[in-house]
Amino acid sequence: MSARDSLPAQPSLDLEALYRDSNVRDALEALERELVGLAPVKTRVREIAALLLVEKLRRTVGLQAEAPPLHMSFTGNPGTGKTTVAMRMAGILHALGYVRKGHLVAVTRDDLVGQYIGHTAPKTKEVLKRAMGGVLFIDEAYYLYRPENERDYGQEAIEILLQVMENQRDDLVVILAGYKDRMERFFASNPGMASRVAHHIDFPDYAEAELLEIAERMLERMQYRLSDAARQALVDYIALRRTQPHFANARSVRNALDRARLRQANRLFARRGQPLATADLMTIDAEDIRASRVFRGGAGKGV
Amino acid sequence: MRLTQGAFSFLPDLSDAQIRAQIEYCLKSGWAVSVEHTDDPHPRNTYWEMYGMPMFDLKDAAGVMAEIDGCRKTFPEHYVKVNAFDSTHGWESLRLSFLVNRPKNEPEFFLQRTEAAGRNVRYATVRRDVRAR
Q: Which chain B residue is nearest to residue A123, measuring alpha carbons?
A: B53
Dihedral pair phi/psi, residue B82, rounded to 5°: -110, 130
Tell me the chain A residues in contact with residue B53 when contact means C-beta distances shorter than 8 Å. Answer: 122, 126
Q: Which of B53, B57, B62 sits opposite A171 (nearest CB)?
A: B62
Q: Which of B57, B60, B67 sits opposite A100 (nearest CB)?
A: B60
Q: Which chain B residue is nearest to residue A121, measuring alpha carbons?
A: B52
Write the CB contacts of A42 (distance below 8 Å, at least 6 apart in sequence): A31, A32, A35
Model confidence at A302, in pLDDT bands (50, 70, 90)? very low
Tell me the chain B residues in contact with residue A135 when contact means C-beta distances shorter than 8 Å. Answer: none
| Chain A: closest CA distance from residue B60 (Å) | 5
Residue A126, chain B, CB below 8 Å: the answer is yes
Does residue A279 or residue A297 have the better pLDDT? A279
Crossing angle between the packed helical segments B62-74 and A120-131, to the nearest 10 degrees: 140
Tell me the chain B residues in contact with residue A132 when contact means C-beta distances shorter than 8 Å. Answer: 58-60, 62-63
B62·A122 Cβ contact <8 A: no
**What's the CA gap between B31 and B23, in Å, rounded?**
9
Residues linked to residue A178 through DSSP beta bridges, in sequence order: A75
A126·B55 Cβ contact <8 A: yes
Whole-number percent of chain A with pLDDT over 90: 56
Give B7-30 pLDDT, tens digit per residue: 999 999 999 999 999 999 999 999
Over range A251-280, report the average pLDDT.
Answer: 91
Instruction: Give the mean pLDDT of chain B.
Output: 93
Residue B67, chain A, CB below 8 Å: the answer is yes
> Is residue B1 within 8 Å of residue B107, measured between CB atoms?
yes
Residue B131 has pLDDT above 90, yes or no: no
Residue A96 has pLDDT above 80, yes or no: yes
pLDDT at residue A8 in the model: 59
| Chain B: closest CA distance from residue A133 (Å) | 5
Give A181-192 pLDDT, tens digit per residue: 999 999 999 999
> Is residue B122 helix, strand or coil?
strand
Residue A130, chain B, CB below 8 Å: the answer is yes
pLDDT at residue B99 in the model: 96
B59·A101 Cβ contact <8 A: yes
| Chain A: closest CA distance from residue B66 (Å) | 9
**What's the CA gap between A97 and A91, in Å, rounded?**
10
What amino acid occupies position A90? A
> Is residue A24 within 8 Å of residue A49, measured between CB atoms?
yes
Q: Select from A104, A167, A166, A96 the least CA-distant residue to A134.
A: A104
Q: How many beta-carbon pairs under 8 angstroms link A with B?
A: 38
B63·A132 Cβ contact <8 A: yes
Residue B93 has pLDDT above 50, yes or no: yes
Between the two ends of chain A, the Cα-to-Cα distance in Å is 68
**What's the CA gap between A71 and A299, in Å, rounded?**
38
Residue A271 has pLDDT above 80, yes or no: yes
Model confidence at A301, in pLDDT bands (50, 70, 90)? very low
What amino acid occupies position B95? R
Give A13-56 pLDDT, tens digit per residue: 778 877 877 778 888 888 888 889 899 899 988 998 888 888 88
> Would strands A199-203 and A72-76 be described as parallel, antiparallel, or unpaired?
parallel
- Best mutation site among A129, A166, A167, A171 for testing chain B: the one with the most B CBs within 10 Å? A129
Model confidence at A1, in pLDDT bands (50, 70, 90)? very low
Residue A6 has pLDDT above 70, yes or no: no
Whole-number percent of chain A with pLDDT over 70: 94
Dihedral pair phi/psi, residue A274, rounded to 5°: -85, 150
pLDDT at residue A303 in the model: 44
Give B45-61 pLDDT, tens digit per residue: 999 999 999 999 999 99
A128·B55 Cβ contact <8 A: no
Give A113-162 pLDDT, tens digit per residue: 999 999 999 999 999 999 999 999 999 999 999 888 888 899 999 999 99
Tell me the chain B residues in contact with residue A98 when contact means C-beta distances shorter than 8 Å. Answer: none
| Chain A: closest CA distance from residue B59 (Å) | 6
pLDDT at residue A246 in the model: 87
Does residue A6 or residue A123 have the better pLDDT? A123
pLDDT at residue A13 in the model: 73
Predicted ipTM > 0.85: no
| Chain B: closest CA distance from residue A62 (Å) | 23
Does residue B128 or residue A239 have the better pLDDT? A239
pTM: 0.85
Give A70-89 pLDDT, tens digit per residue: 999 999 998 899 999 999 99
Let me know the angle formed at the C-alpha of A58 by A64 and A61, rounded to the nearest 5 degrees.
95
